[in-house]
Amino acid sequence: MLKAVSIVIPPDKSISHRAVMLASISEGTTCIKNLLMAEDIKCTIEAFRAMGVEIRGKGEEVIVRGVGMAGLKKPARQIYLGNSGTTMRILPGILAGQDFEVVLTGDKSLSGRPMQRIVKPLKEMGAKIKGQISAKQLDKSTMLICQVVEGKKLKDKEDIYPPLKIKGGKLKAIKYKSKITSAQVKSCILLAGLYADGVTSVSEPEKSRDHTERMLKQFGCKVKGEGCKISFKGPVKLKSPCAIEIPGDISSAAFFIAAGCILPDIKVTIKNVGINPTRTGILDILKKMGANLAILTRLDLPDCEPSGHIVIKSSKLKGITISPKEVVRAIDEIPVIMVAACFAKGRTIIRGIEELRVKETDRIKSMVTNLRKIGADIKVEVAQVEGECIVINGGKLLHGARVSSFGDHRTAMSMLVAGLLTKGKVIVTSLGCINKSFPDFVKQLDTLTMLKCQVVTN
């Protein structure tokens, strides 16, 4: 007999950021249905409020009164973005097109995240941006920002870090070939392109999540996509589609999808999950590992975000090799995939993982350290051509231990999932970071822990 559990997941974080941003600079009022009310999105909302946008309501329905492309006002003070890397990397695209100067700051982790990837293209488009060249948090009152001299060439391995001082102005369109696959970089350039004269295009090595392109279309922008290249002609005036509905976050569902696979005798149903093909790498990877999962009741309208119900049953997972291409479509889910691999039979190898080093924390370090602490056989190997890969020999009996979140929400939640099947308790310290994306996580996880009935070793 399978025990049936139903899990409620929060709205999609990536789509929520974009909804607030595009609604704010469009003409007309937008009703955003099912907006994520977690720390990161609150930072995006507060940023636009600070620039004069009226945003009212909570979660189920948020009303944004768009001010139009040129309607944002210079904020009275610096804008604090907390831990939100997506806001720090995408918002500058919009700010680059404004005729005022803004300073964006963040917490300790955000102040250590590389920004040259967006600073470089925005400067090519004509924006003036300064940041720090060393990753350290500055005391707000003594903030020294202008350490990067205009035109200074960064040395190898040097980067630019927040705080960022952005002075917008007249932009020119560029054709940008990004060396990394990143939706944040792509989105930032596309948003700046709305303000530029001529055709802006961005191409990347693999196709990253395409929420910005889809939503731009909903706001009336004629975006063209060919493979890994996106382009449109600017300047563009966005028009509100009146309403936008946000599906559940597959990156949050991922913890329960993995848990459903590794727990015995269970059937987990997760309703209304976003299943945009650029995000469903987790489903394909787990299916390849032998997961018993299905997507039911699909809803798929052109240019909107597809969604569906996911049902997962206890599975016998086996180790596989995960390619860099597969990692791109599951970039935020790799930590919980590492956990699933620990409970799979045989060896799992994950290649193309370097971007994990620059997430909210270095997720290779956080997960390898933590999983080793609970007895997993996991290591990082370096291949000459392909760079680093993670090697996990699954099926070891895991035990309880005190581990750290490393201040990273996905590390914290992944380790709590691992704790569902360890002999003895896994205690994760500094759990507050979970509020960034999934404030209700522990409550939802409790529905599974109440069912915990045996220890599984393979």
Q: Active-site residue numbers? A: 332
* Integer Cα distance of 30 and 237 in angstroms: 15
Q: Judged by CB, which is closer to ligand S3P: 14, or 83?
A: 14
Cβ at position 201, least distance to ligand S3P in Å: 18
Cβ at position 162, least distance to ligand S3P in Å: 15
- Residue 152 backbone zone (phi > 0: left; psi -120 to 50: alpha; other: beta): beta
Half-sphere exposure in the Cβ direction for 415 (13 Å, CA): 33
CB 197 within 8 A of CB 172: yes
Cβ at position 285, least distance to ligand S3P in Å: 16
Q: Judged by CB, which is closer to ligand S3P: 83, or 187?
A: 187
Structure tokens at 299: 């809803």
> Residue 177: enclosing H or E segment and its boundaries?
strand 175-177
Q: Judged by CB, which is closer to ligand S3P: 231, or 276?
A: 276
Q: Judged by CB, which is closer to ligand S3P: 262, or 339?
A: 339
Q: Is the dihedral of CA 321, 325, 326, 332 positive or negative?
A: positive
* Integer Cα distance of 239 and 286 in angstroms: 40
Q: Judged by CB, which is closer to ligand S3P: 335, or 394?
A: 335
* Integer Cα distance of 446 and 203 in angstroms: 43
CB 115 within 8 A of CB 89: yes
* Integer Cα distance of 297 and 300 in angstroms: 10
Q: Judged by CB, which is closer to ligand S3P: 332, or 418?
A: 332
Cβ at position 111, least distance to ligand S3P in Å: 16
Which residues of the shown chain bind ligand S3P in the complex (CB under 6 A)?
Answer: 14, 86, 182-184, 187, 208-209, 331-332, 355
Cβ at position 380, least distance to ligand S3P in Å: 19
Q: Judged by CB, which is closer to ligand S3P: 173, or 327?
A: 327
* Integer Cα distance of 104 and 126 in angstroms: 18
Peptide bond into 11 cis (omega under 30): no
CB 77 within 8 A of CB 151: no
DSSP secondary structure letter of residue 318: B
Q: What share of the chain is helix, strand, coil (3-state, %, to 5)?
A: 35, 30, 40
- What interhelical angle do 39-50 and 85-95 show, nearest 10? 20
* Integer Cα distance of 75 and 448 in angstroms: 45
Cβ at position 153, least distance to ligand S3P in Å: 24
Cβ at position 182, least distance to ligand S3P in Å: 3
